[in-house]
Chains A and B, each alone.
Chain A
Amino acid sequence: MKIIKTLALGLTVAAVTQMTHAADTGFDMQTVDPEADRIALQKYFKSRFPESDIADYVNGIYAVDAGSREQWEELEEFPPYEFDVEKGEELFNTAFANGKGYADCFENGGVGIRQNFPYWSKEEGTVKTLEQEINECRVSNGEEPLKWGKGAIAQISAYMAWTSRDKVFDIKIPADDERAKAAYLEGKKFFYAKRGQLNLSCANCHVQGTNIAIRADLPSPQLGHVTHFPVFRSKWGSLGTLHRRYSGCHKDSRSKPLKPQAEEFRNLEYFQSYMSNGLVANGPGSRK
């Protein structure tokens, strides 16, 4: 415990010396610059893992760890999520009781649009995620909302991601609405804030801790984090949404997880997705 503390202290001190360099990426509404953040993150990973191609970060940890990549490639020979994509397609195309369907709720009939989520809704003054809109589509057509973490919502989301493969993420932060930038900043802050009994931030494991074993797990890089969701995790033995993973990660730091689709999580998704701009959507994915 003591050692951990001392280490943490050392890191903090080290971080202070970095602050002058890092300050230009912005920590408040006056200075925050999402595009500078995105470029800085890519540079960070390029210098940490010079061998890895930036475009390959859509494959998470497998972009930087050859040993696990080989097993993952074996899994991808016949990915475990295929049944779910099939089921998702069927659900997506099943009409509601009122005769309408998911295709009526989304742009382009819901096909090939995953890379545009989440987005800032000026009307509602909040970040909207794909899963959120899937459920809103149901409710506005008189259907019960689905549970957020797994099952049908993950399958529908997986099918929609499948139809969007190789489309480039292009998350926008509208300049004419300060609240959008504020949401981004909140997400960034969430990512870097230490919390829980283990006193860990997302960044501790997924920026500084990338590819450094936590017992037997290798944390994935933050760059490209959201591109491949929903994900079939061997650990779960099933498909799960991004917010299910957020809850799990949150628990791992011994925090009480927030509810899926909580504003904090949506802001976090907004920040993380912006960081993945320029990378392609490649969901659903399979992970350990």
Chain B
Amino acid sequence: MSMNRRSVVKAIAAGGALVGASVLMPRIAMAAWTTKAFEAEDQATAMNELLGGAAEESAEVTLKAPDIAENGAVVPVTVSSSMAGVESMSIFVENNPNPLVAEFLIPAGTDADVSTRLRMGKTSKVTAVVKANGKLYSASKEVKVTIGGCGG
């Protein structure tokens, strides 16, 4: 997962405007933020750019998300897996403008169990992809986003 050229350029440009090297350092030390994956507009491309392939559904991946989101701006989601050797867990919202929401890197010793809150523009399938022992496994769920009546 090497840093692609565009994000290096962006990092240098931004870093240069701030404090230079000291700002840049931790960025390089971190796992790269994959521009192509995060900016992809369809899920298959995003998944391929991020993880290098498609995932197969697995009962060992658990995606906890509401059936009907109270508010699309804050949808609580938990991804977990009972598998050993989990390296990363990623979340995709198929109908968002950019389907890739986040990628969590799970070092050895950390549970494959992460909660977060995400934005959904409209009703969509939400997919969690777990990378374990170099393979990709997924679980999906449809989350409905509705328009409220009480705007005030």
B70 within 8 A of A: yes
Q: Select one of B73, B78, B117, B151 contacting A237, CB under 8 A.
A: B73
Known: A71-B66, A77-B115. A235 touches B71 (CB 8 A): yes
Q: Determine the distance from Cα of A75 to Cα of B75 in the docked complex, in whole angstroms.
A: 9
Known: A74-B76, A74-B115, A77-B115. A214 touches B150 (CB 8 A): yes
- For the complex formed, measure the closest distance between the CB of B142 and the CB atoms of chain A, giving whole angstroms: 15
Query: Is B73 a contact partner of A252 (Cβ separation < 8 A)?
Result: no
Hey, what's the 0/1 contact readout for B135-152 against A, CB within 8 Å counting as 1? 000000000001111111
B40 within 8 A of A: no
Residue among B70, B71, B73 with the highest chain A CB neighbour number at 10 A: B70
Residue ID in chain B nearest A62 by CB atoms: B70
- For the complex formed, measure the closest distance between the CB of B111 and the CB atoms of chain A, giving whole angstroms: 16
Q: Determine the distance from Cα of A121 to Cα of B69 in the docked complex, in whole angstroms.
A: 43
Hey, what's the 0/1 contact readout for A46-64 against B, CB within 8 Å counting as 1? 0000000000000000000
Residue among A75, A77, A235 with the highest chain B CB neighbour number at 10 A: A235
Count of chain A residues with Cβ under 8 Å from any Cβ of B? 27
Q: When A and B form their complex, what is the total count of cross-chain residue pairs whose Cβ atoms lie within 8 Å?
A: 64
Query: Is B69 a contact partner of A247 (Cβ separation < 8 A)?
Result: no
- For the complex formed, measure the closest distance between the CB of B71 and the CB atoms of chain A, giving whole angstroms: 4
Hey, what's the 0/1 contact readout for B71-104 against A, CB within 8 Å counting as 1? 1011110100000000000000000000000000
**Could you say which interface size class chain B belongs to?**
20 to 34
Q: Select one of B68, B146, B150 contacting A252, CB under 8 A.
A: B150
Hey, what's the 0/1 contact readout for B55-77 against A, CB within 8 Å counting as 1? 00000000000111111011110
List chain B residues, Cβ under 8 A from A219: 150
Q: Select one of A70, A77, A80, A248 contacting B150, CB under 8 A.
A: A248
Residue ID in chain B nearest A70 by CB atoms: B66
A216 within 8 A of B: yes
A36 within 8 A of B: no
List chain B residues, Cβ under 8 A from A75: 74, 76, 117
Residue ID in chain B nearest A61 by CB atoms: B70
Q: Determine the distance from Cα of A174 to Cα of B151 in the docked complex, in whole angstroms.
A: 37
Hey, what's the 0/1 contact readout for A221-239 against B, CB within 8 Å counting as 1? 0000000000000110100
- For the complex formed, measure the closest distance between the CB of A119 and the CB atoms of chain B, giving whole angstroms: 27
A250 within 8 A of B: yes
Residue ID in chain B nearest A74 by CB atoms: B76
Within 8 A of A (CB), among B104-151: 115, 117, 146-151
List chain B residues, Cβ under 8 A from A235: 71, 73, 148, 150-151
Closest 3 CB pairs of A and B: A248-B152, A216-B146, A74-B76
Footprint of B on A, CB under 8 Å? 67-68, 70-72, 74-75, 77, 80, 213-217, 219, 234-235, 237, 245, 247-252, 257, 288
A-B contact pairs, 9 of them (CB 8 A): A68-B70, A71-B66, A74-B76, A75-B76, A75-B117, A217-B148, A217-B149, A248-B152, A251-B151
